[in-house]
Amino acid sequence: MPLKTENNFHQPGKRFFRAYRPGDDFYEALIETHRDLSDEQSARVNARLVLLLCNQVGDLGLLREAMAIARKGVVAEDDDAT
């Protein structure tokens, strides 16, 4: 299975009438998870979240692909800046 690049947010049993809605529900929940946290606490929450989700995905090929994409953007930008 290739890495999904199209919008994949959904909620079983719930009907959405607007295409943006499930993604917005997700994003709000994500930001809410970090409410009132210090930067360090937020970083830890992110780490734990990544670990939980990686286990959910499970497929190491997929995970390596996602990890490479995530790192590449950040490193390339650092290079541009110097």
Partner 1 sequence: MFLTYDNPVYDYARSPDQSAAEPVHHPLIVVGAGPVGMAAAIDAAQRGLQVLLLDDDNTVSVGSRAVCYSKRCLEIMDRLGCAEPMIEQGVTWNVGKVFFRDELVNQFDLLPEAGHKIPAFINLQQYYLEEYMVRRMDDLDNLEVRWRNRVVEIDNAPERVMLGIDTPDGRYRLSCDWLIVADGANSPIREQLGLESRGQWFQDRFLIADVVMKAGFPPERWFSFDPSYHRGQSTLLHRQSDDVWRLDFQLGWDADPEEEKKPERVIPRVRAMLGEETEFELEWCSVYTFRCRRMERFRYGRALFVGDAAHQVSPFGARGANSGVQDSDNLIWKLALVMQGRAPQRLLDSYSDERVQAAEENILNSTRSTDFITPKSTMSRIFRDSVLELCRDFPFARQLVNSGRLSDTAFLIDSELNTAEDPDFCGDMVPGAVMLDAPIEGPDGERWLLDTAGGPFVLYCYLGESGGLSQQTRAALHALAGASIPVQSFVVVAAGAAAEEHATVIDREGLFAARYDARPGSCYLVRPDQHLCARWRSFDAHSVAAAVARATCNG
Binding site for partner 1 (CB under 8 A): 4-9, 17-20, 23-24, 26-28, 30-31, 34, 37, 39, 42-43, 46, 69, 73, 77
**Residue 10, both tokens:** 């959904």
Cα 45 from chain centre: 12
Q: Which is nearer to partner 1, 21 or 54 (CB)?
A: 21
Q: Alpha helix locations (H) across the chain? A: 21-33, 39-57, 60-81
Q: How far is the CB of 73 from partner 1 (least distance, A)?
A: 6
Q: Which is nearer to partner 1, 32 or 58 (CB)?
A: 32
Q: Give how far Cα 1 sits from Cα of 4, 52, 59, 60, 73, Å.
A: 8, 20, 9, 11, 23
Q: How far is the CB of 33 from partner 1 (least distance, A)?
A: 9
Q: Which is nearer to partner 1, 7 or 11 (CB)?
A: 7
